[in-house]
Amino acid sequence: MKFLLKSLGFFLSILIILKIIVFMLNPGHKVEYNIGNFEITESLDTKNDNNYYFVIKGEKIKLNFQTKYNFNKAEKVIKKLIYKKIDGYDCFLPVFKDNKLLTDIMCLKDGIIHNGFELGESITKDFSKYGYSSKIYKDTSSEITVTNTQTLYKDNIPENNYIGIETYRGLTLFNSKDSMINIFENDVYKKPISIFMDKYYVVADYNSEYSFKHFYVVNLINGEKKTIRSYDDISFESYIMGAVDGDIYLFDKDSQKEYKISIKYENVEEVSDKDNIKYYNGKWTTISLKEALKEKHFENNKANIKGYDKADKIGDYYYIYKKENDKYKVYRADIQNEKLITYLFETSDINSIIYLKDKVYYRNGNDFCYYGDNGIRKVLRNTELEFNDDISLGVYEK
């Protein structure tokens, strides 16, 4: 009897181990099911952060979206699908396993998905009885006056986000020491040779007059400042091409040389000559001196989507920009379907965009804001931008 129990226990252990192995190696699934009049196709990609991708089809309606919520590889995770047609919008609210709401209301009109928080209470009020609350999408942060030109919305800054904004003498840091970092002896209104990269701000030595040999580096987390020295004189007729793998690339138009600035090794290295200018656009290649002199900038995230002013591929999404009047409308599309787009926000400057995991920081007029899962939040207002739009913001997430 003891032998039989031991054998049974052994085989049960083997069975459990095999089930665990199968679960771990499971690449995902694709299932189809119906809720009401709608057919749902659910795909799970376990190789991509357990990404659940959904396509909802109805008569003359097609909607797609995704979530990375961990359902432990469960199937048919949408348990209810609330649908209402309101003011010409086809509005959906999926209710997931365990009555979870993981998305805002999604309202489809003219081939564009709009978030419920954008459309307002007249659209969203009918969904409150299903557990939906528009309050989580409202910006309730109070203003804090920092200077006569700067207003901070401190409650909106995530705890692990560190923000720096340029000043005429250096940098102001928020969510670290909340301190002023002085770099220059006099006011510098334009600093084209400067860049925010990861947790650092890097700027040329504008204390110098015609050329420089030093780059100043400020850590956004702790405010520490250090200097990186170049053995060559670098002309102010230079521009930053971009940053790749923690290194910054600069082209000196006067000397016609390209340099790599390494924060890690704290050095400046010449990396090309007139006949061999390194250029990065998803992969390394070379460009002509003529192209480099036209100020060719790196495009690390560029996506090939026609018909828009800018398109970037970030993770599982495309972010696409369309100019309307003097602003840009910003949309997002799943990489599985670039044609069905979701409207996100409006920006006045497509060069101010910062992609930071689940948030997108951007500038709109005098305001710096971010778009995230809970809608749009304002973090900083700087009225000096009315007179000088060269002021940049940097954000690092720890």
- Each residue's pLDDT, cut to its tens digit, for the chain (398 residues) gives 555 555 555 455 555 444 444 444 456 899 999 999 999 999 998 876 778 999 999 998 999 999 989 999 999 999 999 999 999 999 999 999 999 999 999 999 999 999 999 998 888 888 999 999 999 999 999 999 888 899 999 999 999 999 999 999 999 999 876 689 999 999 999 999 999 999 999 999 999 999 999 999 999 999 999 999 999 999 999 999 999 999 999 999 999 999 999 999 999 999 987 778 999 998 999 999 999 999 999 999 999 899 999 999 999 999 999 999 999 999 999 999 999 999 999 999 999 999 998 899 999 999 999 999 999 999 999 999 999 999 999 999 98
Q: How many domains does the chain have?
A: 4
Residues 205 and 281 in one domain: yes
Is residue 13 a part of any domain in this protein?
Answer: no
Residues 200 and 159 in one domain: no
Residues 287 and 312 in one domain: no
Q: Enumerate long-range contacts of 38-41, CB under 8 Å, 24 or more apart.
A: 38/81, 38/83, 40/78, 40/81
Residues 73 and 130 in one domain: yes
Residue whose entry in the numeric block shows the structure tokens 């031991």: 6
Q: Which among 277, 300, 323 is the end of a domain? A: 300
Q: Which among 100, 116, 137 is the end of a domain? A: 137
What residue numbers bound the domain in which 176 lies? 139-182+348-398
Is residue 341 a part of any domain in this protein?
Answer: no
Q: What does pTM read for this prediction?
A: 0.90
Residues 27 and 126 in one domain: yes
d(Cα 183, Cα 340) in Å, to the nearest integer?
A: 47
Residues 133 and 143 in one domain: no
Q: Enumerate residues 6+ apart whose C-beta is below 8 A from 353.
A: 312, 319, 347, 360, 361, 362
Q: Enumerate long-range contacts of 178-181, CB under 8 Å, 24 or more apart.
A: 179/223, 181/218, 181/223, 181/225
Q: What is the pLDDT of residue 191?
A: 97
Is residue 243 a part of any domain in this protein?
Answer: yes
d(Cα 370, Cα 100) in Å, to the nearest integer?
A: 24
Q: What is the pLDDT of residue 14?
A: 52
Is residue 9 a part of any domain in this protein?
Answer: no
d(Cα 358, Cα 371) in Å, to the nearest integer?
A: 9
Q: What is the pLDDT of residue 214?
A: 98
Residues 26 and 85 in one domain: yes
Residue whose entry in the numeric block shows the structure tokens 């909607």: 63
Residue whose entry in the numeric block shows the structure tokens 């599309």: 333
Q: Which two tokens stand for residue 215?
A: 């780059």
Is residue 321 a part of any domain in this protein?
Answer: yes
Residues 173 and 200 in one domain: no
Which amino acid makes up residue 184? F
Query: What is the distance in angstroms between the CA of the first residue and the CA of the last residue of the chain?
Result: 58
Answer left, alpha or beta for residue 87, where phi above 0 means left and psi between -120 and 50 means alpha. Answer: left
CB 183 within 8 A of CB 168: no
Residues 295 and 311 in one domain: no
Q: What is the pLDDT of residue 15?
A: 53
Residues 212 and 271 in one domain: yes
Is residue 215 a part of any domain in this protein?
Answer: yes
Is residue 274 a part of any domain in this protein?
Answer: yes
Residues 222 and 284 in one domain: yes
Q: What is the DSSP-derived secondary structure letter of residue 14?
A: H
CB 307 within 8 A of CB 339: no
Is residue 15 a part of any domain in this protein?
Answer: no
Q: What is the pLDDT of residue 4?
A: 54
CA distances in angstroms from 349 to 332, 339, 392, listed in the order given: 17, 24, 11
Residues 255 and 311 in one domain: no
